[in-house]
Amino acid sequence: MTGVMDAAVAAAREAGATRLLGIKVSIGEANEAVEDALRFAFEALAEADPFTEGASLELTMVRPRSICLECGHEYEHDLYDRFCPACDSFATELIAGRELTIDSIEVDLLES
Ligand SMILES: [Zn+2]
């Protein structure tokens, strides 16, 4: 979460913002990070700096997605259900669901 916060703050400052108001983040369900832990970490980080104090966090969970290396089928799945639904192969590769990306940030540009 520190990396996400750093990136958001850097982007906000670059845009000439006086405050960071909120961040929208997509998080893959296959990421080890737990939603509650992320929120807790975010709030702790946000409170530590007047620039980010009170900023909100909006999380979008992204379902894991894999591609079958046998038949090329692409499919969404639960975290521990990764065999190919088309050919039952276990030779699959995770192509989405581990991400932790910033979709957008909201900033305050006033009081310049
Ligand atoms: Zn397959």
The domain tally of the chain equals: 1
Distance 104 CA to ligand 1 centre (A): 35
Instruction: Tell me the C-alpha distance between 12 and 109, whole Å.
Output: 9
19, containing H or E segment: strand 19-28
Instruction: Tell me the C-alpha distance between 103 and 11, whole Å.
Output: 12
Residue 101's domain spans which residues? 2-63+96-108
Distance 89 CA to ligand 1 centre (A): 5
78 within a domain of the structure (yes/no): no
Residues in the chain: 112
Summarised one tens digit per residue, pLDDT across range 2-49 is: 889 999 999 999 999 999 999 999 999 888 778 888 999 999 999 999
Of the pLDDT bands very low, low, confident and very high (cuts 50, 70, 90), residue 111 is: low
25 within a domain of the structure (yes/no): yes
Distance 72 CA to ligand 1 centre (A): 6
Summarised one tens digit per residue, pLDDT across range 70-79 is: 999 999 998 8
- pTM (whole model) above 0.85: no
Torsion 45-101-12-107 (CA) sign: negative
